[in-house]
Structure formats: structure tokens, C-alpha cells
Structure 1
Amino acid sequence: MVSASAAWAIPAFDEVRADFKPSDTLILSREGEVLQRLRTDATVRRGQWVPLAEVSPALRTALVLSEDKRFFEHSGVDWRAASAAAWGNLWNQRTRGASTITMQLAGLLDGDWRQGPGGRTVVQKLGQTVAAQVLDRRWRKDQILEAYLNLVPFRSELVGIDALSRTLFGKASHGLDDREAAVAAALVRAPNARPALVAQRACGVLRDMQATSGARPAQRATPAPARVDCDALDLFTTAALQRRAFDASEGVAPHFARYLLRQRSGKDGAVPEHVPSTLRAPLQRFAVQSLQQHLRELRGRNVEDGAVLVLDNATGAVLAWVGSSGQLSQASEVDGVLALRQPGSTLKPFLYAQAIAERRLTAASLVEDSPAQITTASGLYIPQNYDRQFKGWVSVRTALAASLNVPAVRTLVMVTPDAFHRQLGAVGLPLRESGDYFGYSLALGSPEVPLLHLTNAFRTLANGGRSSAVALSDVAKPRFAPALDARAAFIVGDILSDGNARARTFGTDSVLATRFWTAVKTGTSKDMRDNWAVGWSERYTVGVWVGNASGAAMHDVSGTSGAAPIWSAVMGFLHAREPSRAPKAPLGLARTAVRFGPVAPQPGSPDPRGGGQPLEAAREEWFVQGTQQAFFAIDSVAISAYPSSASGQNYAKKSAPDAAVSPAGLPPRITAPAPGTIIALDPDIPPARQRLQFTATGNAVQWRLDGKTLGRGPRVAWLPWPGRHVVQLTDAQGKVLDEVRLEVRGAGVVAQPLRAGAH
């Protein structure tokens, strides 16, 4: 017969084991360690395949006593039980039935023999009987029992002993005691019965186990109780059947696991049982621990989220991916590695690299860190430094290392927002809006980027301006593409590794200083909503973000107190036994000794020689070949070096005696603000800090605002308030020499956000 013939096609045990598919996928580290278990099949709940040796002896005993007492004696079919069942059916007596564990396994292996709503047909029974005998001949008893325990449905969606044990009892199957084993065995007979009926049957199984405990002591998991308390077992069973202890995800890399599987599903759709990855297990655990420990230390400062990413410079392999602070977060499912956040000052290295590559600046060029007012389509853009203080004339090396905002904005004026927008896209930071949308605030990190892209962009700097994609599992030879001038990338790296250059903002003993070579940049977005530390060593690039997934502002958390300590700890772990050396300079660079002159005199200054101290100490500096020079000084003053006459009185850099046109002898004029300026008050900056600088040529001048005296001299500060105002410049006799009109608007009326970054 067909069914009998099909019974001979029973698969081998190894085939059944190979075809078994858990509902979960295991993400493995590069060492082969399980880092994360993630449920990927929503239709059924299967755990891992459990070898019989790892199944509780109590469960094996309970199952055999409940389902097939002569399992180890018959040859697949219990003819004695079958005869008893047939005799009982003849006399309409209720009997347990003659289906053995082997026969049930045959039904699980082939759906043709599975019992339907109306019971099995005669043909099905015959085929199942033949299949059971074939199974018994070809398989060992332990293989039959092992397969049955892993394939049998227990309750609802639970299939197999691993899923049952972890869901109802919160433990692996090798740890089940007598009581738990009895409940599990009772569920085989009636998977979806009421808890009271399951408890009743479990009580009977437990009694049978006690009765045989003396005969088979070696199979006991725990000493048999003196008696069976069925009432207590009823309560225990009811509680167990309501428990769902088998979480859908478990491990130390949940966000990485989900991202990795999404990337794989886009290729072939199939999800294997085990997925290898590039993560390092010890590093991943350390990164998780460091993030959580530091956030606990920041308790009370309204910060609960963070993310850490570690990349291998050479291959792009992801070595650690921590997307959340876990239990410390109220939004632990949000992946901080992929979330869009404002990068703050971490975009400045790419801006200065572009300016150096285009030969607009050198690392020794002097830029002015002073109040600047730049007219935009939405009003007056007034960048501020993080500490609300200005350093005067500084070199590009100091401006970048100390993360000064105003020099960065002045640099973007030279580069232009659109050109910088294209450069960011080249290093792997594509922005949804155009450069004109962000305007000059682009220099201070006003767009939103994910930590994944930002860290890989810094990896571009580590690789001499070459960019490639990150790798998650299969590490092939990366395909690098040129994204940035190699000479400019080297100079920026040299600046970011210079502890002396960053001392003006961070001090000489900063947490950013490591005992091995590293280059690092911090950043803080507006109102301390996002805090970053991204940098690289000879072999690794590490990015850290700290903030709140909700976007709430932190309290007094800066780059050095928020993300930097975590960055430093991870870097220290990576280089505990591994050196990190400074990179070699690429071709096309020159190293030249440079000196700096003193501060240039301003118009009307009583000291025509200016200050006597040089602007910065003499040093050796790196230059793109052809841009090197030995002396940098400010020789004279130029009016309105920036567009729209809105930047106030600025000073042109001159390295030789060529002098700019001096304003001496010209009639006094208002140089800032520009006529028709619209000023928008920023709700995130304390009002007392939002002072507007009025500047003019000439020294013996007086200022009037709306007819009232405001101050004297070429520069005065004004605390703006909403309304339309008239600013006048007069001489000592009160004669009006120049006049501009401006408007101050309340907070929240600007068409586009003008955001400022910080160090």
C-alpha cells in the first residue's frame, strides 16, 4: 500500500536534526561565542535542539511513565497496549490508548499520519504502525526519545522541550525537577487543556514517579518527596502556564543583531540558525559595561542614553556596537548607533580639511575668534563659543583643537555651505537638506547624522582620506574610494592628536589625552542635547554618543564629561597590550618652522605697536607643499572681510609687509550691524548672554539707541529686546555721523534653525 511504502522513507536521525529550525537566530562573535539570541519566526516558538544527555533525568522518566511505559522494551509498537486498547474499545471502556512515543514521532515526522479532528483513518494507522517499526530498526532508542522531546508540541505555540522549559519555568531543560517534569509530561497528552486538568494529570505522573523511584534511583533528578501535594501542584501549574519567561531577545548586542539580520534579509531572505559576525565578544561586553557605568556616574544630570561603536580601520569591520544603555533607558529599543542626532563640533575636522585641501588655509593660518555677525536670509547669524568667551587671533591648529566656533564659521564663509555639503557627502555623511538650508550653522553641526555614519567618516580621516563601507559579518577586502585629500587628512589628524593645541579649551590634563597615539574630536549640540567623542588610533576608530533618546537636554554635560570618558575607556581597553603609533606623513607635505607676530594695532589704539607678545609660540608646522611660510602676523586692519558687511570689523591676515588699505582718515561709519538687520532671540541661550556687538570705525565716537545714549568708543555691547530700533553714531558734539535701523524679534520666528555647536 502507498502509506506502508511511504513509511519506509523515514529520514535518518541526522537529517531530522539538520532540518530542525529554531524560531530564534543566534548571533555569534568572531570567536564563536553567542552574543545575542533574537526571535525571527513569529509563527512558532522553538528553542535550540537539546541533546538527550542535556535533558533532565526526571523529565525523561516522567515522559516515559506518562506516554510509553514499555518504551525501552517494544520494537516501536506496544502490541500488549494495542490489544488492551482494542479490547476496551470492544466493551466501550476508556483506555489510555496504544500510541507509543515512536508512533507519535512518526506522526511528527510525516503529516500524513498525523491525527486529524476526526481521528486517524485505518490507512493512517497502518502507515504509522509500519513507520514506527521502521524507526525502531533504524534509530536507537535514545535518538527516538531525543527527537521526540525536540519536536513534540507542548502548549500553544511552544514546540520542543527547550522552548517549554525556558517559557514556563525560566530555565534550561537540564534543570527541571520532578514537579516541573510532571507538568511538562502532562502537557504532552493535552497541550491546551485547562490548568486544573493539566495539574490533575501532573499529579498522577508525579505519583507514578514516586512509585518507581526506588527501582530507578539513577534517573532521579532530586530526592522524591514524601507525598504528593496535589493542591500545591495545582497552584504551581496555574502560575507556570501563565508565565512567559522566554524573552524574544537576550544578550549583549540586541541592536546590532537586528541591524545585521535586516541587512541579510535584503539579500536572500533566509535566516540561518547561527549568524557569524565581526563583533569581538570581550570588547562588546566591556563597551556595554563602560557605557552603563559612566551613565550611572552622571545620575542626576538628566542623561540616560548612549551608544558606542568601534570600527577596524583597515577592514571597516564592526568590532563593538552598543545601541542603548539598556535598563538605564526608558527607550532601550531605540538604536543610538542609527538614530539621527546633531553632531555639533564633530563636523569641524572635515571643514578645516577641505579648507586646507583647497589651499584657503594652512594649519598655521591666523583666524579671528571674536564676535561675528553674519547676515542670512532669515536674519543675523551670531555664532558663539561654548564658554561665551573669545580668544582673539588664533591659528587654525588652535581653532580646531580647542573647538572654537567663530573661526569655524569664518572658515565656512570661505569654503561656502554648498561646497562643504558636498564634502560631507563624499566622506559618507549625506544630508537630506541642501547646504543653503543649513547656512553657516553647518560648520557647527546643525544637521542630523547617525553615529554609524559619523564614526565611519572619522575612519576616512584615519585611512588618509579614503572611504569604504563598514562590514558586519563577511569581511572581504574593502573597496576604498578617495573622499578627502590625503595631505589634509594627515594635517587634521596631527592637529586632533595635539594635546598642547587643545589646552586652551580642555586643559593640559584632559581625559582626551591617552598614553598612546590617538586623534579625537568632541562635540555638543545645542542646549546639551547630544554629546559626542569620536576619534581614532593606528588601528581602531571609536565613536561615542551620550544624550537622551527623547531629545531632552542634559544638565551640565559637555564633551569631556559625557562621551569622552567612555571613549577613553574603550580606547584603553583596545590598546591595553597593543601599541598605537602616529601615521607617516604622505607625499606632498612639508614640515616648516614657523613664528607668529604680535597682535596688530587697532584703529585709534593708543599703542601703535600693538601687544608685545607673539600670538602663539614658535613651532614646527605641517603644510601642503607650496603653502608653507615661516612667519604669520596681523599687520593691518581691513574693513568687512566677510560678506554683506555684517561681520563687524575684521582683520586681514598678512604674512608679509603687503598692507591692506587702512581705514585711518576715513569718516567714522557703523560697520556692524548692517542696515535692515533682523535679529531673532534664541530661546535656548540665557537672555543675558545674547548681547549684540555694535562696531564702528573711529575712536572718538558716541552711540545712541532710540535717542538715548548707549556708550562710547568703536565697540559697544547691547542687550537686545524685541522691537524696531534706530542705532546712531555721533561725534562729541552730538552730530549724527551714521545711522542704521534694525529689528529684534521674539524667539521662535526664524524660518530655519540656526544652531550652534560646542566643544
Structure 2
Amino acid sequence: MASRSRTKSAPPARWKTVLKWLFGLGLGAALLGLLALVIAVYTARASLPSFDELKSSPNGQMIRVHAADGTVIVSLGPSYGEWIRYRDIPPVMRDAMIAVEDRRFRSHIGVDPIGVARGIQVSLERKRRVAGVSTITQQLARNVFLSSSRSYGRKVREGILALALERKFTKDQILELYLNKAYFGGGAYGIDAASRRFFAHAATSLSTSEAAIIAGLVKAPSNYSPTADADAAVERGRVVLRLMQQQGVPAAMGVDEADVQAVKLAPEPLRNSVRYFTDWALPQLEMLIDETVEPIDVWTTLDLSMQRAADEAIRANAPSGAQGALVALDRGGEVRAMVGGKDYVSSIYNRATQATRQPGSAFKLFVYLAALEAGHKPDDQVVDEPVTIEGWSPRNSSRRFSGSIDLRTAFAYSLNTIAAKLGLEVGFSTVADMARRFGITTPINTHPSMVLGTSDVRLLDMTRAFASISQKGVAVTPYGITRVTANNQVIYNHEVDTSRVLVAPYVAAGITDLLQTAVNTGSANAAQIGRPTAGKTGTTTSNKDGWFLGFSSGLTTGVWMGRDDARTVPGLQGGTAPARAFASFMRRAVASRPVEQFETEVTLPEWQLEPDEESYYGEPDNGVFVDADGNPVEQVPEQPRAAEQEEPREQDEAPPPDDEPQLDQEFIDRVTGRTPPRVTVSPIRQPPGVRDFGRTPPERPLARDQDVRPNQ
């Protein structure tokens, strides 16, 4: 019996041995694991950056774009506000974040075992993974050092880094880092960026309700961000407020949930015309600076007051159904204003830099430049007569020929025949080379009809050409970025190059004479701004495009108007809406600049006509349709739609009188007061509004300011 009893008691003894062995093994493994954890934590601690290094290493690159006066006009990429030190962070903000994200923050060692256990329990009950068990320290470790991938390996590294952070930094330092680096949605990193983004003020003046809303964004910034769902953000703020009150946060006790509901959120910034400029300028950074991940500040040439004036000028003057664009260049090529369309939100297509359209007689700038460089002078006599060039016979819109006239008069009346003869004389390839010399980057054909502006061009290029004339023939290169800084260090600085001379000063002076004459005649009065101004209009076939380009007081502005589908715009001519937009913008843009006289004498034809209609009583330059070879094509002009049939005439489009004068040299001399008229039995009848100055003796010509509005 005794031996049987001993046999029965043996197994329990063996189980005790096994259990003791397993316990010892587990304890040893735990000690080894603890030792490994301690080694890992202190190894991680040794490799952690210093507090100052962590402060200066934002996540991702931010680009802040400044206007000429330093105002931030666009922020791209993640947005960072001012770094707020712990003692300057409102206590209610600190309490709100701890209440909603980590109520035991002050007591745990970086990882909260109670929170982890609760998370595991909830996940088992709901049979799915539950987020939200990470402490503030763990979130900081993930935000700064790890990716957002959800894996157990990443969770282990997160825990080790959290323990290391707690060993290296104080609780206050950890909370300061977290509040300045956490993502709050809407591109805002840190409480200051979030406060400025959502409430339009610094985080140092956050109210309890605002702090509750910001604290509530961390859980799901994409869902709760006011930029995504303002109501959801406010509702989440009310939840945070209740948590603060449950945990006894003093600042939350006297606050009602209705106070959170009453918080005023900052309005969403409008995507205005400034974006046309930034969309053009910022891609140039790839060529200007080396690749960097540091936040950078881009300082630009944009003048916000001029930009507003340009935007308003285009919106107010572009015809219904048509688009408009404007570019303004300063002396050194600084882009002071750029409008690529009526509304950036509805169309981001930049018509100032991307669209290519026919310039009409504005292109004659290059024809006359080539002629002046070849030796012609504004007073040179030329003969307006029928001409045929390679089967192409240009005609003046008046359908008449003037005989012997000077270049100034031909330019003022924009006679197509004279432009064609000049092109033939100097060579059409020479005209094309002149255009390329002055910055035209689009292809230019060399068919005879090219003198009438049949090659497509960009508004920015044409404005650049006129700007180079305003600088007496010195090349002007448009630019929008003046300097780029990173960490307050200049990494790029623009230098203006004034070494390239395109034409001799006398050539620039001659063309300025012609351009100033054009602005001061006829319905081009719409472009006058009360100070010396030079410029040229352009109108294309069937009124599809209207241009005005000119300069005054060191500022050059180009305006284009037309439809994107290139259909007719009734009443659109260079001297109407584009000229009015030019004047509306320029009056405001140069108001604070001193009046500058041109270094050339202006000779005004007294016959007040808009030179680009064309000659007098005329139509657009390209009234003759031409094929790809420059030969005339008989074509019926596009008819306006029924709704456009009754489009009223513009005020400066009065129909010609029944008795049209013959445009010959006698008439030109008489209306310009250059020679006395011949004595005839039946004098030529003058059109309305034109005085006969032929009786003025040549030695005492009529003063210009008697019939032409003087430039103040």
C-alpha cells in the first residue's frame, strides 16, 4: 500500500518541477527581454537629436510666396506657424490636448499600460483593431521619426522611441514639441499654424472653445478639419469640452457647449488672380535653386495694389463672353501684375503666358523697327499705292491709296500697303529676326502677310518687346522671383542684366515717336492717362482679338482680349475695350510715379482717328483672309449669332459720313497743318469734328494742346 501511495504522488512532484523550470525560464526570458529593452531604449536615447534640433526640423517642405512688400500671398505644402515655447502656450490648450489624447500623460513612462490594456479589451469586444491607445509621447515619436504604416513592428519601434524620449526630455518639453509639430488638417502643422489657419490669430490668444476645437482635430484631421467640414470640427470641439469638464479642467468649467458652437471660423481664402502669377513663377524654382527639403521663402516682384488694379480693369472692361489678360513690366523686367483671365477659379488657363493669338497691327512694331534700323526716319516720304508681292495684294481698310506720305502718318493710320512695302524692302526674314531679337518665342512665318500680324504670339512676349523699347532699346527679360531664402539664408538672388542692347538708341527713339503719335490720335484717346504715353493697338480678322500695348513712366503694360474659341467678339477692337483697360490700370499703377517725358518730339496728325481700325473709317488689319502661303482667300466673314446681331456700336465706332474725303497727300497735309491748302473752287468737305487748319502759316503751326488733350 505504501509503495502504491508513493507511486501515485510522483506525478505531482514532476509537474511542480516542470512548472518551476518554466517559471525560471520565463523569468530569465523576461529579464533578458527587459535588459534588451533597456539597451534598446538607451541606444535610441543616445541617437535622438537634441531638443533644439527637433525644433528646427519640420516634417515636409513648405513654400511661402511673398509679394514685393513682403506680404505672404500663397503658402504651398505644409504650413508652420511661429514656434511657441511651453510657457507661452495657453494652459487651456495644454489641458485640452491632455484631456482628449492622453489623460495620464503626467504619470506614465512614455507608454501607458492601462491604456494599452483597455485598447486590447475594446478591440476584442468589437472584434476589430481600435486606434487611440498611443500616448502623446508615442504620437510624437511617430510624427517625427516613423511612417504612418500600421504594423506591429512599427508599433514596437514607436514604443521604444517613446520610452527613449521620456528618458531624454521632460514632460514639458515633450508637450511643447508635440503641440508645435502635430498635424491639425488644412495643411497646418502646430497649434500656431492651426490657430492662424482656422481662427485668423496666433495660438497665444486661444480661447477655451477654440482650444477645444483644435485639440479635437488631432484624432482625424482630414475629417474634422474646418476646411473639410466646419460642422464636424465644431461638434468634435464640444466633445472635447465635455471631456475637459469631466476631468476637472478649471478653464472648462464655466464654458457652455453653445460657446463652442458660436466660435467664428476664418473664411476660406479665395483663389484669386494672384495664382496666375504664382503658377507662372514657381515652376522656375527648379532652374534657380538646388533641390532642398527645407522650408523656403520665395520673394517676388508682384505689386499687390497693381495686381488688384489689373484684375479690376480686366473684369470691368472685357466684353461679355470674352476673356482678358494683362501683364505689367517694370524697367528691369519685374512682373508687377499678371492677370491670365477673368476668374482663376473657373479657369486656371493663363492667357498672358500660355495663349498664342494673332497680334494684328501690333506686330507692325517690328516692321517699323526693321525699317528704322535700315536707315528710314519718321519723316521719310513713302508712296501709298497698289502693291502685289508674290501674288498677295494687301489693301488698306479705306480701300484707297494716299500717294506720297511720310512714315509717321503711315504708322498713325496703320496703312497695310506701306507695312507690306517696308517688309519687302528690308526683307520679311529681317522682320522675323527683329521680332525674335525682341523676345518673340513663338514660330514666325516669313510670308508677305506676316507684316499684318498673322503669326501667333504670346502677350508676355509682346509686352516684353514694348518694354525693351521703353528702355531705349536695352533688352528687358521678364522675371517674377527676386530672391529665395531657407532658414533666413539667401540661396538665390536675381540680378538684372542690362548689358544686351537690341537696337541703337536712335532707332528706339524713332519708334517711340511713332508709338506716342499713335496713342495721341483718334479713338486711341481711350488709352491716354494724362501723362506721356506710347503704345500700339492691334485688331485681328472679324474682331476676334483686341490688343493694346504701351508704356509710361517706366511701366509697360500689355492687354489682350478675345474668346478662347477664337470666335468674333462684336465691337472688339484694340482701341476700345483693351485700350480702356490699359488706361484704367495705368492711371492707378503710375499715380505715385513722377511724370516722365520721352526723349523724342511728337508730331500729331490732327485728324483724330484710331490708327488700328485701320487707316481711317477702317476695319481690323487682317480684313483680307490669307492662306498658309500668304495668298488672299475670298471668304465670307463669320456672321454674329442672332443674339449678337443688335449689338450696339461702341461710341468711337461712329459710321463714316456720306461724303468720305479722299486720302491723298493734299488731305494729309491739310489736316496735319504742314502746308497751306490749294485754292480750289469747291473745297473738300470735312468730316464732322475736323477743323481745317490749312490756313495756319507753316512758320506758326497750330499748338498741339489746342486740339489734342495735353499730357499732364
> Which residue pairs with 1:208 in the alignment?
243
Q: Does 1:275 align with 2:292?
A: no
Q: Does 1:494 align with 2:513?
A: yes
Q: Does 1:28 align with 2:66?
A: yes
Q: Does structure 2 retain, via aligned residues, the 8 Å contact 1:384–1:406? A: yes
Q: Which has the higher helix share?
A: 2
* Aligned mates of 1:397, 1:8 — CA distance in 2: 82
> Which residue pairs with 2:371 in the alignment?
355
* Aligned mates of 1:141, 1:389 — CA distance in 2: 86
3-state SS of the aligned residue for 1:552?
coil
> Which residue pairs with 1:77 in the alignment?
109
Deviation at 1:4, TM superposition (A): 2.0
Q: Does 1:110 align with 2:145?
A: yes
Deviation at 1:556, TM superposition (A): 0.3
Q: Indicate which of 312, 337, 340 corresponds to 1:323.
A: 340
* Aligned mates of 2:377, 2:599 — CA distance in 1: 19
Q: Does 1:556 align with 2:568?
A: no
> Which residue pairs with 1:684 in the alignment?
637
> Match of 1:125, as an amino acid?
G
Q: Indicate which of 473, 484, 494 corresponds to 1:465.
A: 473
Q: Does structure 2 retain, via aligned residues, the 8 Å contact 1:31–1:280? A: yes
* Aligned mates of 1:227, 1:540 — CA distance in 2: 52
> Which residue pairs with 1:287 in the alignment?
310
Q: Does 1:580 align with 2:595?
A: yes
Please provide the CA RMSD for this pair: 4.7
Q: Does structure 2 retain, via aligned residues, the 8 Å contact 1:402–1:506? A: no
* Aligned mates of 2:259, 2:367 — CA distance in 1: 79
Cα displacement string for residues 536-573 of structure 1 (whole angstroms, at most 9, x for unaligned residues): 22422211112223323211021122211222223222
Q: Does structure 2 retain, via aligned residues, the 8 Å contact 1:47–1:162? A: no
Deviation at 1:582, TM superposition (A): 2.5
Q: Which has the higher strand share?
A: 1
* Aligned mates of 2:247, 2:354 — CA distance in 1: 59
Deviation at 1:294, TM superposition (A): 2.5
3-state SS of the aligned residue for 1:482?
coil
> Which residue pairs with 1:383 in the alignment?
395
> Which residue pairs with 1:333 in the alignment?
349
Q: Does structure 2 retain, via aligned residues, the 8 Å contact 1:22–1:47? A: no
> Which residue pairs with 1:416 in the alignment?
427
> Match of 1:408, as an amino acid?
A
* Aligned mates of 2:380, 2:256 — CA distance in 1: 85
> Match of 2:433, as an amino acid?
R
Where in structure 2 are the equivalents of 1:59-458 lying within 5 Å? 61-71=95-105, 73-74=106-107, 77=109, 82=113, 99-111=134-146, 116-118=150-152, 125-136=159-170, 140=173, 143-147=176-180, 150-152=181-183, 185=215, 188-189=218-219, 204-211=239-246, 215-217=250-252, 223-225=255-257, 250-267=271-288, 268-270=290-292, 272-295=295-318, 298-299=319-320, 302-303=321-322, 305-313=323-331, 315-326=332-343, 331-359=347-375, 361-369=376-384, 372=386, 374-376=388-390, 379-385=391-397, 393-435=404-446, 439-458=447-466
Deviation at 1:183, TM superposition (A): 7.0
* Aligned mates of 1:454, 1:526 — CA distance in 2: 19
| Contiguous gaps of at least 5 residues in structure 2 | 1-38, 483-493, 607-629, 641-654, 656-712
Deviation at 1:121, TM superposition (A): 6.4
> Which residue pairs with 1:629 in the alignment?
none
> Match of 1:397, as an amino acid?
R
Deviation at 1:180, TM superposition (A): 8.2
> Which residue pairs with 1:697 in the alignment?
none
Deviation larger for 519-528 or 572-581: 572-581
Q: Does 1:47 align with 2:59?
A: no
TM-score of the two chains, using structure 1 as the length reference: 0.62
> Which residue pairs with 2:44 in the alignment?
6
Q: Does structure 2 retain, via aligned residues, the 8 Å contact 1:68–1:100? A: yes
> Which residue pairs with 1:482 in the alignment?
501
> Which residue pairs with 2:543 in the alignment?
528
3-state SS of the aligned residue for 1:283?
helix
Deviation at 1:201, TM superposition (A): 7.9
Deviation at 1:473, TM superposition (A): 1.7
Deviation at 1:399, TM superposition (A): 1.8
* Aligned mates of 1:104, 1:448 — CA distance in 2: 57
* Aligned mates of 1:82, 1:63 — CA distance in 2: 20
Deviation at 1:414, TM superposition (A): 1.9
3-state SS of the aligned residue for 2:481?
coil
Distance 1:545 1:433, change over 3 A: closer
3-state SS of the aligned residue for 2:168?
helix
* Aligned mates of 1:90, 1:349 — CA distance in 2: 81
Where in structure 2 are the equivalents of 1:623-638 lying within 5 Å? none
Distance 1:482 1:434, change over 3 A: same
Give the aligned length: 554
Q: Does structure 2 retain, via aligned residues, the 8 Å contact 1:108–1:151? A: yes
Distance 1:101 1:225, change over 3 A: same
> Match of 2:452, as an amino acid?
L
Deviation at 1:86, TM superposition (A): 5.9
> Match of 2:532, as an amino acid?
W
Q: Does structure 2 retain, via aligned residues, the 8 Å contact 1:38–1:257? A: no
> Match of 1:118, as an amino acid?
Y
* Aligned mates of 1:258, 1:199 — CA distance in 2: 34
Distance 1:396 1:334, change over 3 A: same
* Aligned mates of 1:536, 1:201 — CA distance in 2: 56
Deviation at 1:429, TM superposition (A): 1.7
Deviation at 1:527, TM superposition (A): 1.8
> Match of 1:681, as an amino acid?
E
Q: Does 1:506 align with 2:506?
A: no
Distance 1:97 1:332, change over 3 A: closer
Cα displacement string for residues 586-630 of structure 1 (whole angstroms, at most 9, x for unaligned residues): xxxxx9x99xxxxxxxxxxxxxxxxxxxx989xxxxxxxxxxxxx
> Which residue pairs with 1:649 in the alignment?
none
Distance 1:566 1:48, change over 3 A: farther
Distance 1:681 1:193, change over 3 A: closer
> Match of 2:103, as an amino acid?
K
Q: Does structure 1 retain, via aligned residues, the 8 Å contact 2:474–2:498? A: no
Deviation at 1:33, TM superposition (A): 0.8
Deviation at 1:451, TM superposition (A): 1.3
* Aligned mates of 1:453, 1:473 — CA distance in 2: 18
> Match of 1:682, as an amino acid?
Q
* Aligned mates of 1:463, 1:91 — CA distance in 2: 75
* Aligned mates of 1:407, 1:98 — CA distance in 2: 84
Distance 1:685 1:120, change over 3 A: closer
Cα displacement string for residues 446-500 of structure 1 (whole angstroms, at most 9, x for unaligned residues): 111111111111122122222242232233131432322321210110222236x
Distance 1:60 1:383, change over 3 A: farther
